[in-house]
């Protein structure tokens, strides 16, 4: 167990170092992408199908990301593409809602999907590696999450930060029923610190949608807690 934890801490430390180096490096591809994004924002209504024909981020999240921009938490597209933890995300999967960029995420590219591949599907994993996560693997119904109707991610960062840049992710998992969303919430709450390793995730449900707030690293969790509490107060509790 100790060996597995040491390995994971080293992995995340390396990712953090690589991300910091990447932040300071110029990237002409990402500059071009920013110009492309500006064009998309100007013509967003004509580019993507309406909510009548596809799942989309709920109105509470769409309005909330506008609210936190006033607190200098702005959308993060170009920078996250430099970060190794997000390398599986496809820039072609960006969709704009309320003129803000959201990623449509496949199950296998989510944090839960990563955990599934590492500890459930990995044929080379030793018993010593799997043993610390035996209870998690037994308690999570991965098929429930795999069959989610859609997964959307909104990435944000501190606009004014220098050096280490505090950031986070708002994830929405849409299920077929409220019962499925509630069950998903229950399962993740019991295993959150293993699945979302090295961060402090927060969860809630809005109808048939599971909402997950998480970050790239534990050091950003203090900022994230205040944002999540604001979301609960402004967007979730007002529904009751």
Closest residue by Cα to residue 75 from 115, 36, 102: 102
Residues of the chain with pLDDT > 70: what percent? 65
Expressed as residue numbers, the domain containing 24 is: 2-239
Report the 3 state secondary structure along the chain.
Answer: CHHHHHHHHHHHHHHHHHHHHHHHCCCHHHHHHHHHHHHHHHCHHHCCCCCCCCCCCCHHHHHHHHHHHCCCEEECCCCHHHCHHHCCCCHHHEEEECCEEEEECCHHHCHHHHHHHHHCCCCCCCHHHHHHHHHHHHHCCHHHHHCCCEEEEEEEEECCCCCCCCEEEEEEEECCCHHHHHHHHHHHHHHHHHHCCCCCCEEEEECCEEEEEECCCHHHHHHHHHHHHHHHHHHHHHHC
Q: What is the mean pLDDT of the chain?
A: 74
Which residues are 152's β-sheet partners? 104, 172
The confidence band for 40, taking pLDDT boundaries of 50, 70 and 90, is very low
Q: Which of 16-25, 105-114, 151-160 has the lowest mean pLDDT?
A: 16-25
Quick: pLDDT tens for 53-96: 358 999 999 999 999 999 888 888 766 666 665 666 666 678 89
Sign for the CA dihedral angle at 179, 183, 185, 186 comes to positive
Quote the number of domains for the chain.
1
What is the greatest pairwise CA distance in the chain?
53
- d(C-alpha 172, C-alpha 153), whole Å: 6
Which pLDDT tens digit goes with each residue over 217-238? 656 656 788 889 999 998 886 6
Q: Which residue has the higher pLDDT, 97 or 220?
A: 97
Residue scoring higher pLDDT (191 or 218): 191
Say if residue 205's pLDDT is above 90: yes
Confidence of residue 187 (pLDDT cuts 50, 70, 90): very high
For residue 31, pLDDT over 50 is answered with no
pLDDT value, residue 171:
94
**C-alpha closest to that of 91 among 109, 77, 74, 72:** 77
- Using alpha carbons only, give the angle 32, 48, 75 rounded to the nearest 5 degrees: 50
Return the structure tokens found at 108.
Answer: 């296998």
The pLDDT of residue 139 is 84
Q: pTM surpassing 0.75?
A: no
């Amino acid at each position: 167990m100790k060996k597995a934890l040491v390995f994971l801490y080293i992995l995340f430390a390396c990712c953090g170092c690589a991300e910091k180096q990447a932040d300071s490096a110029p990237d002409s591809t990402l500059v071009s992408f920013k110009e492309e994004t500006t064009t998309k924002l100007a013509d967003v209504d004509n580019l993507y199908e309406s909510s009548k024909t596809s799942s989309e981020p709920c109105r509470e999240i769409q309005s909330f990301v506008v609210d936190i921009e006033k607190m200098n938490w702005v959308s993060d597209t170009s920078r996250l593409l430099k970060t190794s933890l997000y390398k599986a995300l496809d820039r072609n999967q960006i969709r704009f809602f309320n003129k803000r960029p959201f990623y449509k995420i496949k199950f296998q590219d989510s944090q839960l999907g990563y955990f599934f591949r590492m500890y459930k599907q990995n044929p080379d994993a030793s018993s010593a590696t799997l043993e610390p996560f035996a209870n998690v693997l037994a308690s999570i119904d991965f098929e429930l999450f795999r069959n989610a109707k859609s997964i959307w991610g909104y990435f944000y960062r501190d606009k004014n930060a220098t050096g280490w840049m505090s950031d986070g992710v708002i994830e929405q998992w849409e299920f077929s029923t409220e019962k499925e969303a509630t069950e998903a919430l229950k399962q993740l709450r019991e295993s959150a610190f293993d699945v979302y390793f090295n961060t402090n995730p927060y969860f809630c449900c809005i109808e048939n949608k599971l909402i997950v707030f998480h970050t790239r690293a534990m050091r950003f969790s203090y900022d994230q807690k205040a944002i999540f509490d604001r979301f609960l107060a402004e967007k979730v509790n007002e529904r009751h």
